[in-house]
Amino acid sequence: MTLFSITDTSDYLNELLSGKTSGTVHSVYRKTINLSIGGTLAALQAKGSPISPISLITTLTSEKMESLEISAGDFVTLKENIITIYRSNRTLQASTDMNSLDNKKEIGFSFEEATIHNLHLLHSLKCTNSLSDTLFHQLHNNIRTCLSNISTGGFEVIFNQRVNDDTSMMLVAAKKKIEQCTRLYRNKEYTETGIELARLIGLGIGLTPSGDDFLCGVLAGLILTGQTESTFAKSLRKTIAEHLNDTVDVSAAFLHCALKGQFSLAVNHLLVNTGCESPQDTSYVKCNPQITPGIANVPAITENFLAIGHSSGTDTLCGILYALELFLFQKCNL
């Protein structure tokens, strides 16, 4: 069996996979092979991919990942920190080298020596000794500045006030829902705000619809603002949890992670964490703590979030910004 290495994963996924023994390939894309192991979704990803709570980052390039000829439905086993995929559609080729990859139906991925990342946002928040009012405003301003210079065709169109006659019906609908929720929140109808905002689940196309990415961002923003026990936050989490089946599987997995406080490395790296002892891979964070102590600078935020999908990263940032703005509005109107 040809064995490849997994270099990075999360402690969240590592714990979820503990005790699991078998599963199947859920879906296959150019840079990602999604596995379903014992009901847990895990993503084998190409080298250099952004790290998420369900990531298993490999040493393979995206081109090499694509050439593996792995198909949805292929059988998967997990034993002693090795994931083995049995390629059901692989036809053995005539070759003098019978040990070549082309002539092996089994491919293994070992995460025995993988770096384990703690991606619980509360962990990163504690490493900054909590955010002061100054840092809240700095984070808000940096995200706002970042989004103003981005054009991915996602939710930043709404937050940059660029909606016009040519804007997609999806974004127009999202804008109306967000405006409705803002009015409800400002009228202190917090339970209704959570219920209505959760209706964005499944809005959009692709592996992670924009509405889902936005909601993940809102959930992150509620942690950053210390509002996880507010009426709005409880209502939002409850409604999202009840409607995870209303979106695609991969996106539901990310929403489930967000409900557990687990977010991508990019979200965690919004906080510079200079004194944190948890693993910090400098290849994924381009921050200069001397510029803005405690908060990632604008170039760092831009680079880290643009690396996440076509618009997934910026849609998540929009959700974080929205939660920050709701919090700042509330503080200003106490």
The tens digit of pLDDT for each residue in 5-29 reads 999 999 999 999 998 999 999 999 9
**CB-based burial of residue 161 (10 Å sphere; 0-12 exposed, 13-18 middle, 19+ buried)?**
exposed
**Residue 272, pLDDT score:** 72
**Residue 333, pLDDT score:** 75
**Residue 205, pLDDT score:** 83
**Residue 128, pLDDT score:** 59
Beta bridge partners of 41: 36
pLDDT band at 246 (very low <50, low <70, confident <90, very high): very high
The tens digit of pLDDT for each residue in 279-331 reads 344 434 444 443 445 789 999 999 999 999 889 999 999 999 999 999 988 87
Q: At what angle do helices 249-259 and 210-224 cross, to 10 degrees?
A: 10
Local structure of residue 128 (DSSP, 8 states): T
Calculated CA dihedral for residues 63, 64, 66, 69, nearest 10 degrees: 150
The tens digit of pLDDT for each residue in 86-115 reads 998 654 443 334 344 444 689 999 999 999
Give this prediction's pTM: 0.90
Structure tokens at 87: 């390629």
Nearest C-alpha neighbor of 269 from the set 248, 283, 250, 251: 283
- Cα gap 38→17, rounded to integer Å: 8
Domain boundaries, the chain: 2-117, 130-329
